[in-house]
Structure 1
């Protein structure tokens, strides 16, 4: 038993889906866990807010499915090229839509119920490993120690620079923008609409709210200076997007924006730290299941550590090997397919070709969707 109030068996850095799921699983298994999140719940994140049903049985079994929030049920996929031509297929597994504002807060409350110690409004400035123990430094000067660390701090962080990770050395050409709106849009559809240099996802979350989230090349914003001007000049070239935006009642004072989104390969273990969620690898948004991957990887990271404390794994090296191998098994192919598929989007000719192929060969589109989604677990 750890008696030092600043020492834990596991410290989880980042309170998104991967961090919350891993901390809940660990604490419920009797592993003393601290979760550190730099913001205060609830808050919005730039996210497509669609979750593949591959994780629904797991969430239901763990009593972590937010049925009371009445998430939308999504089972149709509509693809549009830049000119507004569309093709439609059924989603093989289907999914559900729920805002991160609601879902993350719900899981945060579940973490507290499980006994996870949570530090919100706390930012990790550095993590070092020495003599088989981690020292976690907070920005306020507080020093914490743990036997294991799970990093689940998201797509990009100052910590990536501190760890000298390879992907952070490369300039990323993408930015992400998100709105919540009220607009007339089919409740069972997730739509993916191309524009020059990017694509926009549209789907319902809870409370008849529609999430609009798009990925654009930064050069679009650089050319027009302001997001609103860029949208009118670039996104509105797609008549469907123009209609959606012009008929939307915007629920945010300003959009949520994130810069420097990188789809470069990342390592799932760095200096003995387990990386989960977007910290381990970011799937392209057009694949629509980054949230499911975060949930699954958070569980897998916790499972490896739990196996160690149960005596199934002998040492730290075995924990790292198990997690690395199972992470690659579940996610590496999906990320590769996502990166290759992204080349078909954000370009007039290629997006038109994609829509044409989906119309002629809907089974091909369904197979591609399956390639970027996992098995039910």
Structure 2
């Protein structure tokens, strides 16, 4: 039996595997995919995420990450731009997740791929390849749900989001327009983020309420037509070349903190399994990595999952609260209109909002030495 059984090889799971292996723990990581793959993600690395990756021994620049230092918000015929309070990076999960898994294996973790988690409790995990167990179980399956025994069903969003992602090869003018910029397009019932990633490609991540999607028409072509019809923000699609046969899609997304609804069952829940922040803030990858550092700090100190949940809530709860308040406000037409008016008058508010929705600096007592 491994000291730690990690379910999921995304950012949080792979980061935890690296850190625990460096600390001398035996680690068994299970990943459902057999090789590199794309995930629903804005692929925006904030300054906090960059700091965590450096501690993990990952240099995003060497992986081809693209610098981003401006933000552009488009709503109706309004377009507002401002400087980011830091230099972010655009890097696909296809590349970054594999780099972290390679780092985990290099640190000594056992990585088992092509294994699906079918169900779990606090003691064991049922998989497509039989039962797996560990002294500690870390759940890091991202946005994918896992069937759990005695799980508190909690609140379910009556109108959840549906997520779409596509990579494009842009025309020269469109690419120049997007240089060093993350572009956020707001529309009724959702929003779309667009930015460059490695290889000279653009990543479009689109989040839309299920009810709004039904009115649009449900198909990907209908969604693209809707974006193209907006006064601004969709004109680049006319000459863009899609790079996937079909978009990456996921349904039933419910954002916000979920830890308060989880049973005290001894499982360490990481990343989106702990709390899914509003994607428009661009801090989701930082939060996933932070949860891994927090969980490993607790495990190394002999602390339980309940202590981890309390620390996670203390460090990340404020970011989740602010991010969700911003998202809910933008969903209200009147508040969105007022907000856009304020941004037009004071573009510097965008810079402030980018700072206000960041995860806080990691307290020194939770920091792990890079020498591990």
So what's the TM-score if we normalise by structure 2?
0.89
Counterpart pick for 1:144 among 132, 137, 158:
132
Structure 2 gap ranges (5+): 363-372
Partner secondary structure for residue 207 of structure 1: helix
SS at match of 2:71: strand
Q: Which of 1, 11, 21 is the aligned partner of 2:5? A: 11
Match of 1:181 among 168, 180, 201: 168
| Alignment RMSD | 2.0
Q: Distance in 2 between matches of 1:29 and 1:333?
A: 30
Provide the rounded CA distance (Å) in 2 between the counterparts of 1:333 and 1:302: 21
**Contact kept in structure 2, 1:221 and 1:227, CA below 8 Å:** no
- Structure 2 distance, partners of 1:27, 1:365, is 40
Quote how far apart the aligned CAs of 1:169 are. 4.2
Match of 1:34 among 22, 28, 36: 28
Q: Deviations over 1:8-33 (max 9, x none)?
A: 11101111100000011001110111
SS of the equivalent of 1:211 reads: strand
Q: Which residues of 2 match residues 1-377 of structure 1 at below 5 A?
A: 7-81=1-75, 83-129=76-122, 134-140=123-129, 142-159=130-147, 162=149, 164-167=151-154, 169-183=156-170, 184-185=174-175, 186-223=178-215, 224-232=217-225, 234-267=226-259, 270=263, 271-308=265-302, 318-346=303-331, 348-377=333-362
Q: Is the 8 A contact 2:257 2:317 kept in 1?
A: no
For the residues of structure 2 that align with 1:61 and 1:264, how far apart are their CA atoms? 27
CA distance in 1, matches of 2:90, 2:335: 28
Q: Distance in 2 between matches of 1:136 and 1:24?
A: 21
Contact 1:122/1:138 (<8 A) preserved: yes
TM-score by length of 1: 0.88
Q: Is the 8 A contact 1:46 1:256 kept in 2?
A: yes
Q: Is the 8 A contact 2:52 2:289 kept in 1?
A: no
Q: Decide whether aligned partners of structure 1 residues 344 and 171 sit closer, same or farther in structure 2, where only a CA change above 3 A counts.
A: closer
TM-aligned CA deviation for residue 168 of structure 1: 6.7
SS at 1:230's partner residue?
helix
Say which SS state the counterpart of residue 241 (structure 1) adopts.
coil
Kept after mapping to 2: 8 A contact 1:50/1:95:
yes
For the 8 Å contact 2:41–2:165, the answer to whether it is kept is yes
Structure 1, unpaired ranges of 5+:
1-6, 309-317
Q: Which deviations, in whole Å up to 9, do the C-alpha atoms of 1:29-87 show, x marking residues without a partner?
A: 10111111111220000110001111323322331223322201111111111x23111
In 1, the alpha carbon distance for the partners of 2:152 and 2:201 equals 37
Matches of 1:167 and 1:96 in 2, distance apart? 36
For residue 115 of structure 2, give the secondary structure of its aligned residue in structure 1. Answer: coil
- Kept in 1, the 8 Å contact 2:30–2:111? The answer is yes
Cα deviation digits, residues 229-262 of structure 1 (max 9, x gap): 2331x32342333302212111111111110011
Deviations 1:321-344 (A, max 9, x none): 431222112211111111111123
Cα distance in structure 2, aligned partners of 1:167 and 1:38 = 26
Aligned length, in residue pairs: 354
**For 1:291, what is the secondary structure of its paired residue?**
helix
